[in-house]
Amino acid sequence: MTTTRDSGALAHLDALGQLSLFRGVDPCDIAPLLREARQRDLAPGDVLLEKDQFNPRVFILLEGRLSVHTQLDRDAIALLEAGDVVGDMSVVTGQPASAFVRSDTHCRLIDLPADALWAVFDESRPFARNLLRLYVRRIANLNLVVNSAQRLQQEYRVHATTDPLTGLYNRRWLNESLAFEISRAQLRKRPLTVMVADIDNFKQYNDQHGHVAGDQALKGVAAAVLVALRGSDMAVRYGGEELVVVLPGAELEEARKVAERLHRAVADQPIIGHDDTPLPPVTLSIGLANMVGGDSPEQLIARADQALYRAKHQGRNCTAE
């Protein structure tokens, strides 16, 4: 429950003198500020500032802790301790408050009109210097929050677009990116080839050696594929044992060379079981399709998939177009 009461200047001089904001400030310079001040007490959970509401007053936290929230049902983005100033940014910018401020503990604050704070700012150089330090510290903390949010956003994007077993892109990434790659190739009048590859007899491999061995085979194939591809190529685990590779700038002749490197790399890739036991190597069947006309992603993948079907019928471990 919030309570507000008038307070004389002398009642707060000792408390203010202990705060970094008033370090080195002449008490005579503080007295005019306190003549305009009221003491405000907050119980835990009281909301001091409402987001998107204009706030004409400034608060100096004497005791307790406040938390700053973008939404009240979300975690705090900042914590405010004794000596911090609250509400000043809204006053300075003339804009509504950008966040909620709520008490975490019992809090005691000085509540004063903004012009009283700026009057002390104009008269006291130590106060102005201390306030500047407070703002610099606040900006530094905000930068930490922003950097942390950016890292989390990047981690989320990686998790959202990467297959956790193989480290290749996942189908979601392909659905979002292939249309862009096709449009870019068409705009630049450059070729683009899509490769669909499948591990031969993978079901039998799983049945004979177990699903853990199958996972090891998938990881081995992914590692071999990444080594064999060109720097601009993008490999995707499309589903199960099926891979899709996007080859920007590649005509079919260049794509055939890449496919041959994949065949050799996968055949030579050691597959090691979870108990360090060597497992049999695997092979790939590959289908290629070159972009033509106004191909959609679905059409291009479908043609590559048909080519893969032909490679399977030609005896596996080969490439078809």
CA atoms within 13 A on the CB side of 45: 2
Catalytic residue status for 241: yes
State whether residue 52 is helix, strand or coil. Answer: coil
Torsion sign across C-alpha atoms 117, 120, 122, 125:
negative
The answer to whether 209 and 222 are in contact (CB under 8 A) is no
The answer to whether 268 and 211 are in contact (CB under 8 A) is no
Q: How far is CA 115 from CA 24, 32, 35, 84, in A?
A: 21, 11, 12, 18
> Residue 50 and residue 312: Cα distance in Å, rounded?
65
Q: Which residues pair with 272 in a beta bridge?
A: 278
The b-or-e profile of 202-226 (16+ CB within 10 A means b, else e) is beebbeebeeebbebbbbbbbbbbe
> Residue 104 and residue 275: Cα distance in Å, rounded?
52
User: How far, rounded to the nearest angstrom, does the alpha carbon of residue 261 sit from its chain's CA centroid?
Assistant: 35
Contacts of 308 (CB under 8 A, 6+ apart): 196, 197, 198, 285, 286, 287, 320
Q: Which residues pair with 279 in a beta bridge?
A: 271
| Number of residues that this document lists for the chain | 321
Please identify which of the residues 81, 241, 251, 254 carries the catalytic annotation.
Answer: 241
Query: Of 108, 140, 106, nearest to 16 (Cα)?
Result: 108
Please list the active-site residues.
241
